[in-house]
Homo-oligomer: A and B are copies of this chain.
Amino acid sequence: MIIVMSTRATEGDVDHVVERLAHDGWGAQVNRGTERVVIGVIGTGFPSDYPEHIEMLPEVESVTRITKPYKLSSRDFHPTDSVIDVGGVKIGGGCDFVVMAGPCSVEGREHILETAGFVAAGGARLLRGGAFKPRTSPYSFQGLGEEGLDYLAEARAQTGLPVITEVMEPGEVDAVERCTDVFQIGTRNMQNFPLLKRVGQARKPVMLKRGMSATIEEWLQASEYILAEGNRDVMLCERGIRTFEPMMRNTLDIAVVPMIRRLTHLPIIVDPSHGTGKWYLVKPMALAAAAAGADGIIVEVHPDPDNAWSDGPQALTPANFEDMMRALDAVVTATGRRLATAPATV
A: residues with CB less than 8 A from B are 2, 4, 7, 20, 29, 31, 33-36, 38, 40, 42-44, 47-49, 52-53, 55-57, 61-62, 64, 66-67, 69-70, 76, 134-142, 168-172, 188-189, 191-195, 197, 212-213, 215-218, 221-222, 224-225, 228, 241-248, 251-255, 257-259, 262, 275-276, 278-281, 284-285, 287-293, 305-308, 310-313, 327, 330-331, 333-335
Contacts and interface: CB of A to CB of B under 8 A. Distances in A.
Contact of A134 (B140, B191, B259): B191
Given A69-B137, A284-B258, A215 B244 contact: yes
A195 B169 contact: yes
A300 to B, nearest CB: 13
- This protein's copies in its complex: 4
B254 A285 contact: yes
B217 A247 contact: yes
Nearest to A76: B7
Given A49-B140, A52-B312, A171-B170, A33 B42 contact: yes
Given A48-B139, A327-B335, A262 B280 contact: yes
A215 B331 contact: no
A62 to B, nearest CB: 7
A307 B52 CA distance: 11
Nearest to A198: B169
Nearest to A133: B193
Contact of A40 (B31, B56, B64): B31
Contacts of A192: 168-169, 188-189, 192
Contact of A243 (B43, B251, B312, B327): B251
A145 to B, nearest CB: 11
Nearest to A309: B49
B259 A247 contact: yes
A30 to B, nearest CB: 11
A35 B68 CA distance: 12
